[in-house]
Amino acid sequence: MTQEFPPSADERPSKSQLKREMHALQALGEKIIAMSDAERARLPLSDDLLAAVDEAGRIRSHEARRRHMQYVGKLMRREDLDAIHAVFEEIEQEARRRDLAFHRLEQWRDRLIAEGDTAVEAFIADHPDVDRQALRQLVRNARREREQNKPPTNARRLFRLIRDTAGL
């Protein structure tokens, strides 16, 4: 028969470590509260946590919100944190891909305005379904706006045309 001893101080986490973990769970709860409803729906959250997240949006008092966030942190201990982090990573990856796609579109817009017809031909080759006449007109108008230091109204319209053509 083996004798069981209570865990020694070396085996269990320190009070400071427990506090750090609790603050990390509260911070994760804050991120969940800040998410849109559509993004939050993708997370594998319990009904209790969803109710607490909804309640957090209605709390205005600073002290009440602080106490409520402690409660959210407590509820977070029971959640599947690995699954939640995986969904967060997915959402961040999608945002990065979307940002990169928009940067490429902005580069196309800038290239079309700077290079004119040569860039227009290259864009048409990549996107044969684009409205060629509208594209050429917007490029001409955007170039004229840039030369005259006017607000970039047509450059914005050109970006919208490129974005719609690319399907974003």
pLDDT greater than 60 at residue 3: no
The CATH code belonging to domain 15-79 is 1.10.60.30
For residue 55, give Cα distances in angstroms to 19, 94, 157: 24, 28, 41
Mean per-residue pLDDT for 94-103?
93
Same-fold call for 15-79 versus 94-166: yes
The residue among 33, 29, 19 whose CA lies nearest residue 75 is 29
pLDDT tens digit sequence for 104-144 = 999 999 999 998 888 999 999 988 898 889 999 999 999 99
Phi-psi region of 116 (alpha: psi -120 to 50; beta: other; left: phi over 0): left
For residue 134, give Cα distances in angstroms to 50, 103, 149, 154, 156: 48, 22, 22, 11, 13
- Cα(138)–Cα(81) distance, integer angstroms: 49
Query: Under 8 Å CB-to-CB from 157, ≥6 apart: which residues?
Result: 138, 142
Structural domain spans, the chain: 15-79, 94-166
Domain 94-166 is found in CATH 1.10.60.30: yes
pLDDT, position 13: 84
pLDDT tens digit sequence for 88-98 = 899 999 999 99
- Cα(39)–Cα(31) distance, integer angstroms: 11
Sign of CA dihedral 16, 18, 19, 24: positive
